[in-house]
A = this chain, B = another copy of it.
Amino acid sequence: MNLQEGQQKFIETWGTLGSNWGINRTMAQIHALLLISPEAKTADEIMEALHISRGNTNMNVRALMDWGLVFKTLKTGERKEYFYAEKDMWKVAMQVIKERRRRELEPLLGTMSSLKAVQDESAEGKQFASTVQDLDQVIAKADNTLELLLKADENWFINNFLKLLKR
């Protein structure tokens, strides 16, 4: 497999993975493209590389920036915006966990808490209460575990950073 085929396969694989996990295929493909680009790319370069429209490119690049996975940079003397991805895959994983936790787990805990208020003594009511309670606990546990993971990672980062300063 040569480089070009490899790049193609990488972009395709990342796109498929994304769509299996509820992430727009194109968004994941743009991410993949930027992950393997040594240099930041313009919207035009992305459009050309992936054969997608300007509007699509713009929407998905912005979504990637919202996720904290892609950043914008300006080159002196040029008006175009350049985009590049965070390349450290560990940081990427942590960022995705952080965002999904914020966007989904936390709202879910809110919903569970409102469902815990339902009072009903029928068999259905009892099963409902029990399922909600159990689920709430599992979600809370997952939430705490992920928070710990993220904090540990931040500390690790800060610690390394401090070490660098102290040299």
Residues of A within 8 A of B (CB): 1-3, 5-7, 9-10, 13, 17, 19-22, 35-39, 87-90, 92-93, 104, 108, 111, 114-115, 117-118, 120, 122-128, 130-132, 134-135, 137-138, 142
Report yes or no: A3 in contact with B120, Cβ–Cβ below 8 A: yes
CB-CB nearest in chain B for A19: B22
Complex Cα spacing A11 to B150, Å: 30
Report yes or no: A1 in contact with B131, Cβ–Cβ below 8 A: no
CB distance from A67 to the nearest CB of B (A): 14
- What would 8 more interface pairs be, CB under 8 Å, given A1-B117, A36-B127, A87-B131? A7-B124, A17-B108, A19-B22, A36-B124, A36-B128, A87-B130, A89-B138, A90-B134
